[in-house]
Chain A
C-alpha cells in the first residue's frame, strides 16, 4: 500500500462543475502539499498546509490531521484547470516529500 493514496485517478467534468480530489496518507506528517502538473509537464506548487484550510482564487485545500486526509476543491471549473493534481506529504522527520500518483483532471467546455 502506498503511503499516499489519491482518488480518483481520473476525473472528467463539465465546465462550471465543482470538483473534489482526495488524498489519504498513512504516516505522520508535518505538512501536505498540493501541486499541479500542466499538460506540458511543468509542476507548480498550489498549496502547502499543515492544518485547516487554504484558499487561492477558485482553489480550496483542506486537511484533517486526525483522519490523515486532505481534499482539493475547484469551484466553477474551467477547461484551463485540466491538469494532473498531485498530493505530497512531508513526514515529521526531514524535508523530503512522498508523492501520490496524481489525479488526471479533464474539464470539457
Chain B
C-alpha cells in the first residue's frame, strides 16, 4: 500500500518547455488535489477532482491543465513553463466525504529557468 505517489521527484525545465506531473493513489479515494507550495505562502490549490470524470479550478489554475485519467490517477500539465511556476508541487487525495482527511504525496520540486 504505497498511498499517494508522485513522479518525478525533481525536474528542471527551460522557459517554454512542457511537462506532465504524475500522481497516483491506491486508497480508492474519490477526490484528488494538486497544490503548489512557495516560500512564505501556504499551500495553494491549483486544481482538484471531486470524483472520477470531474475537475475544477482551484485558487491558482492559470498556466496549468489537469486530467483525471481514472480513479487512481490525476496528472498536472504545464504547457509552456514559466519561471513563476518554480515551486514544490504536492498531490493529495481524500475519500471525498467524512472524515475528509487528505493524504499527501512526497512532492515534486520543479525549477523553471
Contacts and interface: CB of A to CB of B under 8 A. Distances in A.
Interface of A: 2, 4, 31, 33, 35, 41-45, 48, 86, 88, 90, 95-102
Contact of A101 (B41, B106, B109): B41
What 5 pairs across the A-B complex have the smallest Cβ distances? A99-B42, A43-B104, A99-B43, A41-B107, A101-B42
Count class of interface residues, chain B? 20 to 34
A2 B101 contact: no
B58 A96 contact: yes
B42 A48 contact: no
Given A95-B96, A96-B48, A97-B102, A43 B90 contact: yes
A95 B104 contact: no
A108 B42 CA distance: 25
Interface in B87-112: 88, 90, 94, 96-97, 99-104, 106-107, 109
B45 interface: yes
B55 to A, nearest CB: 13
21 contacts: A2-B42, A4-B42, A31-B100, A33-B101, A35-B104, A41-B109, A43-B107, A45-B102, A48-B100, A86-B42, A86-B43, A88-B43, A90-B100, A95-B31, A95-B50, A95-B94, A95-B97, A95-B100, A96-B45, A99-B42, A102-B42
